[in-house]
Chains A and B, each alone.
Chain A
Amino acid sequence: AQSVTQPDIHITVSEGASLELRCNYSYGATPYLFWYVQSPGQGLQLLLKYFSGDTLVQGIKGFEAEFKRSQSSFNLRKPSVHWSDAAEYFCAVGAPLSNAGNMLTFGGGTRLMVKP
């Protein structure tokens, strides 16, 4: 069975500083990997995804993530954090369900706080 670990429960960075959120996964095949963001009281918004090909993927809001198969990692990065980035971030691995969608297994989330 697949699993996802986000080692950092909370991270605080200063506005303008760079950010890296860690994600490690366990999955028997080539993984489908996702990062979602959840703002307070909101649903989950997809930031970016990796299916195959280039291991560095670009997402919305200036985020990027790098897939490293040897380390079973899919870390999320942003060069300069904005106060509006404060939210909960979830890494997920997707297991295809025959021809019927995708079962997502989520990590425990990382809460990002941004200092002015």
Chain B
Amino acid sequence: DTAVSQTPKYLVTQMGNDKSIKCEQNLGHDTMYWYKQDSKKFLKIMFSYNNKELIINETVPNRFSPKSPDKAHLNLHINSLELGDSAVYFCASSQGAGLEAFFGQGTRLTVV
């Protein structure tokens, strides 16, 4: 009964391709996020959505486009993939200001 689930867990693709990562949370939270963890384990927020509305876009290239069809889902679409996009992408959700975020298992994206 996973709280925040992401698919796929692993994604290997060629440069220039377009790919999507899906995220769903069953916690009833209003806010969802995408975080990126690079090869040195550094974690940085990319996007935050509240009730399907974009709250944060942390200087992420336009090739990254989040989509929130409803407040339980936040998908990440990436166009024209580049080698530097290789990372682990984490989806998370939270409820209310100041409260902890619950993270998914991550999607390891490898661009070759």
Contacts and interface: CB of A to CB of B under 8 A. Distances in A.
Interface of A: 32, 34, 36, 38, 42-46, 49, 51, 88, 90, 94, 96-106, 108-109
Contacts of A100: 30-31, 48, 50-51, 55, 97
A45 to B, nearest CB: 8
Q: What are the nearest 4 A-B pairs in CB distance?
A: A101-B31, A100-B50, A96-B97, A106-B43
Interface string B15-27: 0000000000000
Given A43-B105, A44-B103, A46-B102, A97 B45 contact: no
Nearest to A31: B98
Interface of B: 4, 30-31, 33, 35, 40-45, 48, 50-51, 55-56, 90, 92, 94-106
Contacts of A102: 31, 94, 97-101
Tell me the dominant secondary structure on chain A's binding face: strand
A104 to B, nearest CB: 6
B101 A104 contact: yes
Contact of B96 (A46, A101, A104): A101
Given A36-B103, A46-B102, A104-B43, 17 more contacts: A34-B100, A38-B41, A42-B106, A43-B4, A43-B103, A44-B90, A44-B103, A45-B103, A46-B100, A51-B98, A94-B100, A97-B55, A98-B97, A100-B31, A100-B51, A101-B101, A102-B31
A90 B104 CA distance: 16
A38 B41 CA distance: 10
B50 A43 contact: no
